[in-house]
């Protein structure tokens, strides 16, 4: 787990709980996604890193970029992040917020990394198996990583299933050398 994710977790949890309290999860998702894309923009990133701009001004700058479509709670959140020097955590906050939201909605995104493209039948079978194992709706996202040699690696929330040939070979090498 990265330090950024650890630092972002309390902010993501707090904003998620606030969003749940007033049923504004969709609006917060949209805002956080927008803010994340803004803070990773090269020009904005340079401005946020500048020692010549104070924390309050950085927060005001981000609020100004949002325009008039944000609530008082949104402004306060941005100001809090700015005051604590955490604006650059917005991508991690957004990612965690979406994880919390998916969990609350009994949905999970499973990323399946394989050496070769999976057929529709394989994807459907994997989705059904994960739905049974996890007890929730599963959205499957596939990635290709030829270094796996064969097999798949599945990541769904905190669950990681490494059935790759690469992992099996590494385990065999470890067994043989120890």
CB-count exposure of residue 105 (10 Å: 0-12, 13-18, 19+): exposed
Asked whether the beta carbons of 18 and 94 are under 8 A apart, the reply is: no
- Same structural domain for residues 39 and 92? yes
- Same structural domain for residues 28 and 110? no
- Same structural domain for residues 112 and 85? no
User: According to the model, what pLDDT value does residue 55 have?
Assistant: 93
- Same structural domain for residues 121 and 167? yes
- Same structural domain for residues 75 and 25? yes
Residue range of the domain that includes 136:
106-177
pTM of the model: 0.67
Domain boundary among 102, 126, 141: 102
- Same structural domain for residues 89 and 152? no
- Same structural domain for residues 32 and 18? yes
- Same structural domain for residues 130 and 161? yes
Domain boundary among 102, 131, 150: 102
User: According to the model, what pLDDT value does residue 113 have?
Assistant: 94
What CATH number corresponds to the domain at position 27? 1.10.520.20
Domain boundary among 102, 129, 162: 102
Q: Are strands 107-114 and 159-162 parallel, antiparallel or unpaired?
A: unpaired
Number of domains present in the structure of the chain: 2
Query: What is the CA 111 to chain-centroid distance, rounded?
Result: 12
Torsion of CA 108, 118, 128, 136, to 10 degrees: 0
- Between 72-83 and 25-39, two packed helices, what is the crossing angle to 10 degrees? 40
- Same structural domain for residues 90 and 112? no
User: According to the model, what pLDDT value does residue 1 have?
Assistant: 47
Q: What is the mean pLDDT of each run of 10 residues along the chain (178 residues)?
A: 83 93 89 94 91 93 89 94 95 92 84 92 92 87 89 85 83 86
- Same structural domain for residues 119 and 44? no
User: According to the model, what pLDDT value does residue 2 have?
Assistant: 66
- Same structural domain for residues 15 and 98? yes
- Same structural domain for residues 26 and 61? yes
User: According to the model, what pLDDT value does residue 21 have?
Assistant: 85
């Amino acid at each position: 787990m990265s330090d950024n994710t650890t630092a972002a977790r309390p902010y993501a949890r707090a904003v998620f709980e606030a969003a749940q309290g007033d049923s504004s999860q969709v609006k917060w998702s949209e805002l956080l996604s927008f803010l994340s894309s803004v803070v990773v923009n090269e020009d904005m990133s340079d401005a946020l890193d500048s020692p010549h701009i104070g924390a309050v001004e950085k927060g005001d700058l981000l609020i100004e970029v949002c325009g008039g479509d944000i609530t008082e709670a949104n402004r306060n959140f941005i100001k809090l992040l700015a005051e604590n020097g955490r604006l650059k955590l917005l991508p991690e906050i957004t990612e965690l917020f979406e994880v919390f939201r998916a969990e609350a909605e009994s949905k999970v995104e499973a990323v399946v990394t394989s050496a070769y493209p999976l057929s529709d039948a394989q994807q459907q079978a994997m989705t059904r198996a994960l739905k049974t194992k996890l007890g929730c709706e599963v959205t499957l996202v596939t990635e290709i990583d030829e270094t796996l040699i064969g097999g798949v690696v599945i990541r769904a929330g905190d669950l990681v299933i490494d059935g790759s040939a690469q992992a099996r070979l590494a385990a065999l090498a470890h067994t043989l050398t120890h």
